[in-house]
């Protein structure tokens, strides 16, 4: 008897992301893509930033296409920006009600996929707590249907990384010679992994990770980063600071003595930020735990570009959708 297909057995085959012409057919991970691929996404997003300034915030590029947001894990911000991105491209967007979906009634993910394919879907946006879920769907989906990874377990969150790259490029113009520091829970963060890969592919001068040993992966240096355990030391000469949310829902065991002690050592305050360059920008993928990861004075301060990240997320996700569904855009 043939064993059922399992997400756990899914290999991260990044080659399935592009077609024979080198164009995106899925967007599953930053890994496996070239600088040209990432730059194409950023350049395409530039073309969509002006859409939000129009009286009618739509372009007809994906009219007649059907996009399904397949979110098995709670997320308001990511799902909403994907929905807005699809609608602004004039696509039909369906948000699947996972709480009442067939998977909750015992149907397998593969059976759910086949039923959604029968509805003539063109693109699945997948968020799942299982690492490899988006790859699993991309490897089993009918040819011609695209898959975008909206976050899978601790593995990857490529569109979040790209909206972060877009924000950095808009503020700093170029990645070359930039020193970027990522602070916090690297161990459990899919965003951090995607950010690190994107920064290195785009040619950032130096990427640092700052945090306690309990929140850093083993051999994290292999990702192409410099490691700091002292926040003030790690911030010296930094141009961009990315503060991560503590991924408490993915922690098993005692990784931190207390949130209060974490804030004292690694929480970003105005005083600690003075160790970075004066024109440093501060970013956070959200949602923010104020008084834990950073102080409100920093989150709302002059160096913060957190709200810009949210705005740019729509343009970047429009870019990814259009490149998958309309190659040559």
The band of 184, judged by pLDDT with boundaries at 50, 70 and 90, is very high
Report whether pLDDT(103) > 80.
no
Lowest mean pLDDT, pick from 91-100, 135-144, 291-300: 91-100
Lowest mean pLDDT, pick from 88-92, 181-185, 215-219: 215-219
pTM of the model: 0.91
Beta bridge pairs of residue 124: 68, 147
What average pLDDT does this structure show over 156-164? 96
**Token pair in block for residue 45:** 């997003």
Beta bridge pairs of residue 70: 126
Domain boundaries, the chain: 7-156+311-325, 158-310
The band of 131, judged by pLDDT with boundaries at 50, 70 and 90, is confident
Please tell me the CATH code under which domain 7-156+311-325 is placed.
Answer: 3.40.50.1370
The CATH architecture that domain 158-310 belongs to is 3-Layer(aba) Sandwich (3.40)
More confident site: 182 or 32: 182
Report whether pLDDT(249) > 80.
no
Reduced to 3 states (helix: H, G, I; strand: E, B; else coil), residue 228 is strand
7-156+311-325 and 158-310: identical CATH topology: yes
**Structural contact between residues 148 and 320, judged by C-beta atoms closer than 8 angstroms:** yes
Residue 50 is predicted with a pLDDT of 86
The band of 4, judged by pLDDT with boundaries at 50, 70 and 90, is very low
Q: What are the phi and psi torsion angles at 208 (to 5°)?
A: -115, 150
């Amino acid at each position: 008897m043939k064993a059922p297909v399992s997400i756990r057995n899914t290999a991260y085959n990044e080659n399935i992301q592009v077609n024979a012409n080198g164009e995106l057919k899925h967007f599953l991970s930053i890994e496996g893509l070239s600088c040209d691929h990432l730059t194409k996404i950023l350049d395409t997003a530039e073309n969509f930033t002006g859409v939000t300034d129009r009286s009618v915030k739509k372009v007809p590029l994906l009219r007649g296409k059907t996009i399904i947001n397949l979110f098995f894990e709670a997320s308001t911000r990511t799902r909403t920006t994907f929905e807005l991105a699809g609608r602004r491209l004039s696509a039909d967007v369906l948000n699947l009600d996972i709480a009442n979906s067939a998977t909750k009634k015992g149907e397998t993910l593969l059976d759910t996929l086949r039923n959604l394919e029968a509805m003539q879907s063109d693109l699945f946006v997948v968020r799942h707590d299982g690492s490899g879920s988006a790859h699993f769907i991309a490897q089993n989906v009918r040819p011609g249907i695209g898959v975008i990874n909206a976050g899978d377990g601790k593995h990857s969150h490529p569109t979040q990384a790209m909206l972060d790259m877009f924000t950095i490029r808009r503020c700093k113009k170029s990645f070359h010679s930039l020193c970027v520091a990522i602070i916090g829970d690297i161990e459990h963060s899919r965003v951090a992994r995607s950010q690190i890969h994107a920064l290195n592919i785009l040619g950032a001068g130096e990427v640092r990770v700052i945090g306690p040993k309990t929140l850093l992966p083993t051999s994290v240096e292999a990702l192409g980063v410099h490691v700091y355990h002292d926040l003030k030391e790690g911030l010296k000469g930094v141009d961009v600071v990315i503060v991560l949310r503590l991924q408490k829902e993915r922690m098993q065991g005692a990784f931190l003595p207390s949130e209060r002690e974490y804030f004292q050592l690694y929480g970003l305050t105005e005083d600690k930020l003075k160790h970075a360059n004066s024109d440093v920008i501060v970013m956070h993928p959200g949602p923010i735990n104020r008084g834990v990861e950073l102080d409100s004075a920093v989150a709302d301060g002059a160096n913060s570009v957190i709200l810009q990240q949210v705005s740019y997320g729509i343009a970047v996700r429009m870019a990814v959708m259009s490149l998958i569904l309309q190659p040559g855009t």
